[in-house]
Amino acid sequence: MTKNIVGKIDDNVKINTILLSVSDKSGLDTFLPGILDINPKVRIFSTGGTYSAIKKILGDRANGVLEQVSDYTGQPETQGGLVKTLDFKIYLGLLTETYNESHQNDLERTSSVAIDMVVVNLYPFKETISKPDVTCENARGNIDIGGPTMIRASAKNFIRVASVVDPSDYSDVLKDMKIGNGALTLEKRFALSVKAFEHTAIYDRTIADYLGNISFDKVKICYKI
């Protein structure tokens, strides 16, 4: 297999398609209307509770803009939201490169679209394990899989994609999009990528520390083994 080497990218990338799935929904009430003010034709993919929150925030403005991930991928969410975003069309859209002809052919072949921004924050694992009555099953259930995967894919592809993991960055992202007529610069995408990888690193470290500090006896008791 020939290794892919990127030879050309764009400094400014217009944000036309957003993948949005957040546990912390603070700030969306100003962030999302702000994005639509800048680009009324933006397309937003979302899931579950985030989709419902966006629909409520945007009201009639959601029509023709907001779409369930399951409707886009053609794959319904599994029971309890176990699998929602782990889909070929999603990751092709996140990892594809603008000037790679094979990637563009793959997008066309699969009726996929390039995703320009990911807005994701993760299941509240740290908050869950801080509760005095937490069980190992409560903790295990709050280990996010799809969120870190989306973050890592978008952060890796900072040459084209913006990875937004912190609601405190929403106002700066909006400001930069206004300056760029709906686009974000490579400098901004790179800075967001650094923060995104730091975010997932801390998240994984928290999980590893928790699991490493509970005894297997506690695990056996949790599952009645």
Res 184: pLDDT: 98
Sorted by where each begins, the domain ranges of the chain are: 13-122+146-207
Of 129, 133, 152, 131, which Cα lies nearest the Cα of 142? 129
- pLDDT tens digit at each of 225 positions of the chain: 557 789 899 999 999 999 999 999 999 999 999 999 999 999 999 988 999 999 999 999 999 999 999 999 998 776 566 667 789 999 999 999 999 999 999 999 999 999 999 999 987 898 888 999 899 999 998 899 999 999 999 999 999 999 999 999 999 999 999 999 999 999 999 999 999 999 999 999 999 999 999 989 888 888 888
Outline where the chain has alpha helix (H): 28-38, 48-58, 69-73, 88-95, 101-109, 125-129, 136-141, 146-156, 170-179, 186-212, 216-222
Topology, domain 13-122+146-207? Rossmann fold (3.40.50)
- Phi and psi angles of residue 114, each rounded to the nearest 5 degrees, phi first: -70, 130
Which residue's entry shows tokens 């694992």?
125
pTM: 0.92
